[in-house]
Amino acid sequence: MNTTPVIAIHGGAGTIAAVAADAASAQPYREALHAIVAAAQAALLRGAPALDAVCLAVEMLEDCPLFNAGHGAVFTHDETHELDAAVMSGADLRAGAIAGVSHIRRPVRAARAVMEDGAHVLLAGAGAEAFARARGLEMVDPSYFSTEARRQQLHHARAGDRVSLDHDGAPLAEGSKFGTVGAVALDVHGHLAAATSTGGMTNKRVGRIGDSPLIGAGTYADDATAAVSCTGSGEMFMRVVAAYDVCARMRYAGQTLQEATDTVVLQVLPKIDGRGGLIAVDRFGNVCLPFNTEGMYRAHARGAEAPHTAIHR
């Protein structure tokens, strides 16, 4: 018997400015989220594996300059780009990730290539780029990732001598953003998968790697429990191994997806000033999208039902 497929995506969390409540300002974000989740939904309805669906969604998010991954990624303090991505298959716990790259057009494809190669889980920097090049993945000049809005955002952050979350400040006006994109899915065969990609934090120190490419911290999937993709203050998500903690609470404490995600996002993370949220889907098709910030760009779709998009609560 086929399972009803489910897809959920996020485009970052943070202090989403009041301007986001303005329908006209929010419209480009809502339209992008809707189009991306609908494309992944259509793939799942055709029988595509969860892994294919999450990678498709994240590739589209990477290509959209509204979000901090791929084209439109934030700048480091040195005005460079360093991108991270990860994918994980819940069916067999295979995972792949890359970190600190600046020439790979679609980082999530490189992460999947690492997973499919199977020799390693995480490749970083020049080694990751050499691997991607050898696999025939599309390479670009780092300027491909740059947008003027992100450059202004860096200069704004430098002036205030701070590192910022993507959607803190004035997100829809590209004020001082940092965030992550991600997707989780359950396919018709009952398998789960997760994928996450990010440009990191505006004004971050060169060489900084966050939770997104770390399996268990920002990305995790296990058919026995759930698929999870996180977004927010990466250092805090790393310290509590947030994505895996959700699955562990379900497996060992018997918590539901709702209980596990609410505990991690609303109790565990705030204790160490961890800001952000996550998206998760469990093996039964339940979806949870909790966040402890003002908002989180998100969308989800179940079966053939019309997709839902949201920014604030």
CATH number assigned to the domain comprising residue 179: 3.60.20.30
Task: Give the number of domains in the chain.
Answer: 1
Query: Could you tell me how far CA 67 lies from the centroid of its own chain?
Result: 10
Residues that are catalytic? 180
Q: Identify the pLDDT of residue 100.
A: 95
In a domain, 288, yes or no: yes
Q: What is the pLDDT of residues 232-267, one digit of tens each?
A: 999 999 999 999 999 999 999 999 999 999 999 999
In a domain, 224, yes or no: yes
Q: Which residues contact 142 (CB under 8 A, 6 or more apart)?
A: 80, 81, 102, 103
In a domain, 244, yes or no: yes
Q: What is the pLDDT of residues 53-105, one digit of tens each?
A: 999 999 999 999 888 888 888 888 888 888 999 999 999 999 999 999 999 99
Residue 166 has pLDDT above 60, yes or no: no
Give me the domain span that covers residue 220: 6-310
Strands 180-186 and 192-198: antiparallel
In a domain, 1, yes or no: no
In a domain, 69, yes or no: yes
Q: What is the pLDDT of residues 118-136, one digit of tens each?
A: 999 999 999 999 999 999 9
Whole-angstrom distance, CA of residue 184 vs CA of residue 288: 11
Q: Identify the pLDDT of residue 139.
A: 95
pTM listed for this prediction: 0.93
- Mean pLDDT along residues 44-59: 98
Residue 189 has pLDDT above 70, yes or no: yes
Residue among 172, 192, 175, 103 at smallest CA distance from 144: 103
- Mean pLDDT along residues 161-182: 57
Residue 170 has pLDDT above 70, yes or no: no
In a domain, 303, yes or no: yes
Mean pLDDT is lowest, of 77-91, 126-140, 142-156, 216-230, for: 142-156
Q: Identify the pLDDT of residue 171.
A: 42
The type of residue at 64 is C
In a domain, 155, yes or no: yes
